[in-house]
Amino acid sequence: MNNLPDVERDYSGELARKAIHLSSLSIPIVYCFFPKSTVLAILVPLALLFGVTDIARHLFPAFRQFYHRLFGWLMRAHEKDEKEKRLTGATYVLLSAVIGILIFPKVIIITAFAIMIVSDTVAALFGRKFGRHPFLRKSLEGTLAFFVSAVVVVCFAPKVGYVPAEYLVGFVAAFIGSVVEAMSIAIDDNLSITFSIGGVMWLMYALLLPTLNVYALDFPG
């Protein structure tokens, strides 16, 4: 993402990675219009395919060499490190989507996942290019870019009742998500950002809007 010790990494390579990452925004957009069962019928096989591929490249050297020749230019150093045996970011994105859709109401996971995709991309590119002031494990500039872009996502994301308090829920969750992204904890960002935002939103809906049916978008009508 926009970790300060890694600023020497090729910016054009980061642009390519984030362009692909941004394409995952299609997941919450599609989920706006299709039921959970349909979306999971697509995402679960994809997540399994990517996961099995990751396991295979760690187990079989010949396949690993072939895979790295094709996609190595998109991979980060820790994804190639055979000592760590990490999954790729793409696999984590799919896992985040599948688990999030299974756990959270539609109105929450659409917002949380969209913020993770858009704001993580903005923070990484902006922080890497303009980051000057350290903040936690990232840059202050990148963190501010995350929060501002997340606020924009919240404004355009679907709501249950479109009441002012729903926007407040999203803004607070966006702030928490920006801090979690800056902390860069051991859990992959694709998981930690999505689930921290989703968890905060669900809690705040329960506290501030207890009479609002957060499952209204899951079962319209």
Give the model confidence (pLDDT) of 126-180 as tens digits: 988 898 999 998 999 999 999 999 999 999 999 999 999 999 999 999 999 999 9
Cα(21)–Cα(111) distance, integer angstroms: 16
DSSP 86: P
Q: What is the pTM of this model?
A: 0.89
Q: pLDDT by residue (tens digit) across 75-95?
A: 877 788 777 778 999 999 999
Give residue limits of the domains in the chain: 4-208
185 compared with 35, residue with greater pLDDT: 35
Cα(216)–Cα(105) distance, integer angstroms: 9
Start-end of H helices in the chain: 11-22, 26-33, 36-59, 61-71, 77-80, 89-103, 106-130, 140-156, 164-183, 189-208
pLDDT of residue 11: 66
- CB 196 within 8 Å of CB 184: no
**Residue 111: closest CA among 38, 219, 200, 220:** 200
